[in-house]
Amino acid sequence: MSLMALTAPLVVQVVRTGVANIASVLAGLRRLGAEPALTEDPQTVATATAVVLPGVGAFGAGMERLRASELVTVLRERVAAGRPTLAVCLGLQLLCERSEESPGVEGLGVLPAIVRRFPATVRVPQLGWNEVLPQAEGGLLERGFAYFANSYRLDSAPEGWGWARSEHGGPFVAALERGAVLACQFHPELSGPWGAALLGRWLARAGDAR
């Protein structure tokens, strides 16, 4: 199903994390015909058809805001249930157990993984375009180039998730997908037509769920 076929715009709840580049996410969703709304209300996040967890900033600050808003449990349950959820950049990292960026801070723990800093042999942060290579066909992820802005990454994909890789100081996880859950280390909203097409596929899947 395409968004054009929906009888009403798909409302997408965008979590107000306090560390995100919200404007570009909202603009990217609007360009595709969705109706984004900002929220930090647990009940709204729990019941929404589609949710975006964006993030640009520090792991510790992001988790502090999610805890203050009482969003930790509802986000865990939402992703575990496979309900339409998109995590972007830091949003992907927040799904993990912890990060080297913020020692002692627990993440959402949806992904049994630790976020690690890129090696000192490459430029950090990684800023710019990099190739995204899906490990299988038929999912949301397709081969193309995306815009990244990150100093930390996952170096392997958790079991049970489809994934795509990129290379920067060795292979790392560019994106993960499982059903209607998509987590991107890159910024699809800043990744030109390729990123817009990926967002469109995710929105269409969320629309089907609706």
Share of the chain above pLDDT 90, in %: 90
Q: Which of 6-10, 100-104, 124-128, 196-200 has the lowest mean pLDDT?
A: 6-10
**Residue 166 pLDDT:** 98
DSSP label of 9:
P
Average pLDDT of the chain? 94
Q: Is 120 helix (H, G, I), strand (E, B) or coil?
A: coil
Just list the catalytic residues. 89, 187, 189
Which of the four pLDDT bands, split at 50, 70 and 90, describes residue 55?
confident
* Mean predicted confidence (pLDDT) in 147-161: 97
**Residue 5 pLDDT:** 45
DSSP label of 209:
H
**Residue 7 pLDDT:** 58
Q: Where do the domains of the chain lie, and which CATH numbers do they carry? A: 3-209 (3.40.50.880)
> Using one digit for the tens of pLDDT, what is the confidence trace for 2-45?
444 445 899 999 999 877 678 999 999 999 999 999 999 999 99
> Using one digit for the tens of pLDDT, what is the confidence trace for 71-82?
999 999 999 999
Cis peptide before 125, with omega less than 30 degrees from 0?
yes
**Residue 37 pLDDT:** 97
- Whole-model pTM: value is 0.94
